[in-house]
């Protein structure tokens, strides 16, 4: 085949690959993945993100700029404050979920963490979105959102009761009569729902986790409330 034809035919593909590589590079830092998980719950200010991740404002801003250039996050200015949200929310959440599945399947160290922390706290199979939708329709479960209140306010599963994890101990008695409980939080690697289910079961309350979290539920097109 003519060499010039081969080069010209590969030009558009190489341009696309270059942009895809920029997205991959933007994901190549744990703090940036954590930022994406946080803004998947709802829009957040730079100051709030810095506090939650434990970074300085300047470092947080640098990470956000990388995500902005890769078209994964977008800023909104309100006075002196800058807020960030996901771009193409469904696609970004799906991308992160796919990244997690590849990691779990191919990287032994991830599987070791899953075994040592997550499965040690809850070895039961989580409930799927489809099954939860059916159980919500017949009213056979109590849905418990254990994320912070401000995240719940941005959006949540329909009919969910919001009890942040740090308030759960004080509310356990009120949940006894509501059993069984399905708990959820930010996503598949968020520890909040694992800890909540462990607390509930220790008190004799029938409890199980949702298979992932609010962003994945929303990305799948399932109903939400705000």
Please write the tens of the pLDDT for every residue from 32-89: 999 999 999 999 999 999 999 999 999 999 999 999 999 999 999 999 999 999 999 9
- Total Cβ atoms within 10 A of residue 125: 9
pTM reported for the whole predicted model: 0.87
**Which span out of 30-39, 98-107, 118-127 was modeled with the highest average pLDDT?**
30-39
Query: Do 70 and 29 form a contact (C-beta atoms < 8 A)?
Result: no
Mean pLDDT of 143-162: 96
Mean pLDDT of 159-170: 95
Q: Is the pLDDT at 180 greater than 90, yes or no?
A: yes
Q: What would the two tokens of residue 40 be? A: 């998947």
pLDDT grade, residue 1 (50/70/90)? very low
Cα angle, residue 219 at apex, residues 21 and 117 outer, rounded to 5°: 80
Asked if 185 is an active-site residue, the reply is yes
């Amino acid at each position: 085949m003519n060499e010039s034809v081969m080069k010209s035919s590969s030009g558009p593909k190489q341009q696309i690959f270059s942009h895809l590589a920029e997205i991959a590079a933007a994901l190549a830092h744990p703090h940036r993945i954590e930022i994406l998980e946080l803004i998947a719950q709802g829009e957040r200010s730079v100051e709030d993100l810095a506090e939650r991740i434990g970074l300085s404002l300047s470092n947080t801003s640098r990470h956000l700029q990388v995500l902005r250039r890769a078209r994964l996050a977008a800023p909104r200015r309100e006075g002196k404050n800058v807020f960030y949200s996901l771009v193409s929310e469904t696609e970004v959440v799906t991308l992160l979920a796919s990244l997690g599945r590849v990691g779990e399947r191919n990287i032994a160290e991830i599987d070791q963490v899953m075994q040592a922390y997550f499965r040690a706290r809850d070895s039961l199979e989580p409930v799927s979105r489809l099954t939860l939708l059916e159980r919500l329709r017949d009213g056979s479960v109590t849905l418990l959102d254990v994320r912070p209140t401000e995240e719940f306010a941005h959006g949540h599963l329909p009919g969910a009761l919001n009890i942040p994890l740090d308030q759960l101990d004080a509310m356990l008695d009120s949940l006894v009569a509501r059993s069984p409980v399905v708990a959820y939080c930010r996503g598949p690697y968020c520890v909040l729902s694992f800890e909540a289910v462990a607390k509930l079961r220790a008190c004799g309350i029938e409890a199980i986790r949702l298979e992932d979290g609010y962003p994945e539920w929303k990305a799948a097109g399932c109903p939400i409330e705000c």
